[in-house]
């Protein structure tokens, strides 16, 4: 099968790889580039565990083809760990037990990072909406929403 060379930035580093046209971005990140924080949960964009930031916006990497990443700036939680809002969120997530099994946490934190980077004064509704695409089966969401709200308020 014909392959394509794609070039993109991944967590601040330049990447250049050959991919097949049908390769899914999530599989490429996990299987070829050793990036494990985005998870496989449903493979159809329902659950949000595969969330990554592409050019500053969250996308479902299970619904993106690897070729779509050509020329993009990709950030996963591994890279976002140094971002200001991500770090503030992580402190609150830890304090408030905003995760249990932890499987959805990378996606939730990236969605929350995107929100706060764009809107540092969100309403509770804004917060719920921002993470509504990230399914969590453990926490009942309450500690997630609280942690994001308190991060925004700088509590």
Partner 1 sequence: MDLQKIIAKPKKVAKARKADDGLEVVGKSVQRVDGWEKIKGAAKYTDDLEFGPGLLYAALVESPHAHARIRTIDTSAAEKVRGVVKVVTGRNFTHKFGLYMNDRYIFAKDVVRFVGEQVAAVVATDAKTAQRAAALVKVQYEPLPAVLDAVKAFEKDSPLVHPDLKDYTHVPWFFPKPGTNIAHWRKIRKGDLAKGFKDADLVLEDTYYVPRYAHCAIEPHSAIGLFDASGRLTMWTSSQSPFTQRHVFAETLKAFGLGHKDVRVISTYIGGGFGGKAGVTMEIIAAGLAIAVPGRPVKLLWNRAQEFYNTYQRLGCTAKIKMGVSKAGKITALDFKLHWDAGAYVEYGANVVNAAGLSASGPYKVDNISVDSMCTYTNLPPCGAYRGFGYSEFLFGLESHITRMATELGIDPVEFRKRNAIKEGDTLPYGAHMNPNGIRDAIERVEKEIKWGVKEKSKDPKKAIGKAQVCFWKSPAMPPNASSSAFLKFNEDGSLNILVSGMEIGQGLLTVMAQIASEVLSVPVAKIRVETPDTDRNPYEWQTVGSHVTWGCGNAVKRAALEARERILDLVQRVHCLDKSTLYLVDEHVKCRTKPDFALRFSDFVINGIQADDHTFKGGPIMGSGVFMPEFASAIGDPETGQGGHPNVHYTTGSAGIVLEVDRETGKMKIKKVALAVDCGKAINPDLVKGQVVGGLLQGFATVLYEDMRYDEKGRLLNPNFSDYKIPTAMDMPEEVVPIIIEVPQPDGPYGARGVGEHTMIPCAPLIANAVADALGVRIKSMPVTKEKVALAVKAAGK
Q: Which residues bind partner 1 (CB under 8 A)?
A: 30, 34, 36-37, 39-44, 46-47, 49, 76-78, 81, 84, 87-88, 90-91, 93-95, 97-106, 109, 127-129, 131-145
CB of 148 to partner 1, least distance (A): 10
For residues 21, 22, 23, 25, the Cα torsion angle rounded to the nearest 10 degrees is: 90
* Beta strands 73-75; 4-10: pairing state: parallel
CB of 141 to partner 1, least distance (A): 4
Compute the distance between CA of residue 25 and CA of residue 69 in angstroms, rounded to an integer.
8
Nearer to partner 1, 8 or 99 (CB): 99
Beta bridge partners of 60: 51
Nearer to partner 1, 5 or 142 (CB): 142
Nearer to partner 1, 46 or 71 (CB): 46
Nearer to partner 1, 71 or 118 (CB): 118
Asked if 24 contacts 87 with a C-beta cutoff of 8 angstroms, the reply is no
CB of 40 to partner 1, least distance (A): 7
Exposed, middle or buried, 55 (CB in 10 Å: 0-12/13-18/19+)? exposed
Could you tell me the CA-to-CA distances from 144 to 18, 24, 55, 92, 113 in Å, in that order?
38, 29, 25, 9, 13
Nearer to partner 1, 31 or 71 (CB): 31
CB of 17 to partner 1, least distance (A): 16
CB of 60 to partner 1, least distance (A): 12
């Amino acid at each position: 099968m014909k392959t394509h060379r794609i070039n993109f930035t991944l967590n601040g580093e330049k990447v250049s790889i050959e991919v097949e046209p049908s390769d899914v971005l999530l599989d490429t990140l996990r299987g070829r580039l050793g990036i494990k924080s985005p998870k496989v949960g449903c493979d159809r964009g329902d659950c949000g565990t595969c969330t990554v930031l592409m050019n500053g916006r969250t996308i479902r990497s299970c619904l993106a083809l690897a070729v779509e990443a050509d020329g993009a700036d990709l950030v996963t939680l591994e890279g976002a760990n140094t971002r200001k809002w991500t770090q503030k969120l992580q402190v609150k997530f830890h304090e408030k037990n905003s995760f249990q099994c932890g499987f959805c946490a990378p996606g939730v934190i990236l969605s929350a990072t995107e929100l706060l980077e764009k809107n540092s004064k969100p309403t509770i509704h804004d917060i719920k909406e921002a993470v509504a695409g990230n399914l969590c089966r453990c926490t009942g969401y309450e500690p997630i929403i609280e942690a994001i709200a308190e991060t925004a308020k700088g509590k």
